[in-house]
Amino acid sequence: MLFEESMSDLTARFREVRVAREAPADVPANWPVDWLDPRAEAAMLRFVDSRFSEAGFAEQIRGVILDATRLDVAAMGLRSILTALARAARIRAQAAAR
């Protein structure tokens, strides 16, 4: 992969996000394209935000995940970022092949 941004810019815009929900549910249909690799696990939804910005993020979450009860956001290392991007590219390629 080739990136045209500094390492600090790259790591600043990627975050691993965990959203606790009121009840188990699938990934919402109105999923933003910048939120990669969504995984619904019981009452927890996990994904990678590739354009993270603290400004308005909680409101954006609640606009998509209506039953959100808790929000955890964590910085990511380069290896985790690359893994998330590769996984997202593979999923897009599989969807295009269908």
- CATH code (residue 45): 3.30.70
Q: Is the pTM of this model over 0.85?
A: yes
The answer as to whether 2 is a domain residue is no
Give the model's confidence band at 92: pLDDT under 50 very low, under 70 low, under 90 confident, else very high.
confident
**pLDDT tens per residue across span 44-61:** 999 999 999 999 899 999
Task: Classify 21 as helix, strand or coil.
Answer: strand
Task: State the average pLDDT over residues 62-70.
Answer: 92
pLDDT tens digits along 19-47: 999 999 899 888 999 999 999 999 999 99
Q: What's the rounded mean pLDDT across residues 5-24?
A: 92
What one-character DSSP code corresponds to residue 32? -
For the cut 80, the answer to whether the pLDDT of residue 3 exceeds it is no
Domain count, the chain: 1
In a domain, 59, yes or no: yes
CB count, 10 Å around CB of 50?
Answer: 20
Beta strands at 15-21 and 68-75: parallel, antiparallel or unpaired: antiparallel
